[in-house]
A = this chain, B = another copy of it.
Amino acid sequence: MKILKCLLFVFLFVLFGCLTENDPLPSWNNGAAKQAIVDFVKSTTTKGSPDYVPQEERIATFDQDGTLWVEHPLYTQVVYCLDRVPEVVKEKPELKDQEPFKTILSGDQQAIAKLSMEDLKKILAATLTGMPVNQFREEVNNWISTAKHKKWDKKYTDLTYQPMKEVMAYLRANGYRTYIVTGGGQDFVRVYSQETYGIPPEQVVGTATGVSYDYDKDGRPYLTKEPRLLLNDNDAGKPEGIHLIIGRRPYAAFGNSDGDKQMLEYTWAGEGKRLAMLVLHDDADREYAYGPAEGLPETKVGEFPQSLYDEAVKNGWIVISMKRDWKDIFTHD
């Protein structure tokens, strides 16, 4: 009997091992979204499959804000820029009495919310450009290691979506290279992408500005971030950035807003099997609810209009419901 018990134990142990090993997406509930991901990976990576894709061509692209981590109530990078204003004013005191810096420093949230796009651009230029590349990296690194999201009192890098990290790990385990293709700053995201997502800097495509080339007093060259826009990596800028930096069409693309539409269309238009997915924020209890789902409020951040929803349905793209498809949302759940 002892032997039987022992065998049973071994059997259960192996069974458990097989079951967990066979589920590369444990934070996903069973359903069409999870199934679509598994089907896509199997059919593009199984030798002999009519949809087989050679390893060097396996590219998957992910929007960041709202697709890989929380984007509400403000994009993380915008919070960074606002937080940097006092420091920038300390370095350039003449800005203290100039708008929009004066309003930011006042702390008047209502007035801040009313700032125009032109005002925001001034803040972005003042906080994201004008400094050596190395200094910028250090500033972002210091901030991202300590700043916290008020709703959860957690670091932003702890507010990444566990189910999407599982998708990236699953794709990588099957020979895909995973890229972030973000409207956010390329230099900003590259600071933490390796540690946060396992994505190296050369696999981050984002909104990019030029750099100038100068020599320090010892004759050593250094690069300074300039407010000269090279790539606005939103909307049609996403396929443009993909063409510029990767030079290959992705086989899978993940987004959550109108700014990702062209990236998904471009991915979807390629030959053979493709995967195009949109994250729908419909979980007010665990995260936020906004977008085209019934009764959800429209917002400016991460806009997911009805037209995008209709295009997704028409094309056969998969809309991921955070509420139904995700068992856990955050790693800390």
Contact = CB atoms under 8 A, between A and B. Distances in A.
B269 A240 contact: no
A244 B223 contact: no
Interface centre among A230, A239, A244 (most CB of B within 10 A): A244
Interface centre among A190, A201, A230, A266 (most CB of B within 10 A): A230
B247 A190 contact: yes
A265 interface: yes
Interface stretch (A164-172, A206-214, A283-291): A206-214
Nearest to A218: B269
B239 A223 contact: yes
A239 B211 contact: yes
A323 B258 CA distance: 58
Nearest to A264: B221
Nearest to A229: B230
A190 B243 CA distance: 11
A262 interface: yes
Interface residues of A, number: 33
Contacts of A56: 200
A53 interface: no
A239 B262 contact: no
Given A213-B240, A247-B201, A221 B266 contact: yes
Contact of A269 (B190, B201, B221): B221
Contacts of A279: none
B190 A212 contact: no
A276 to B, nearest CB: 12
Interface of A: 56, 133, 186-187, 190, 200-202, 204, 208, 210-213, 220-223, 230-231, 236, 239-240, 243-248, 262, 265-266, 269
20 contacts: A56-B200, A133-B243, A187-B247, A190-B247, A202-B245, A202-B246, A202-B247, A210-B240, A211-B239, A211-B240, A211-B243, A213-B240, A221-B239, A221-B265, A221-B266, A221-B269, A222-B269, A223-B240, A223-B243, A245-B245
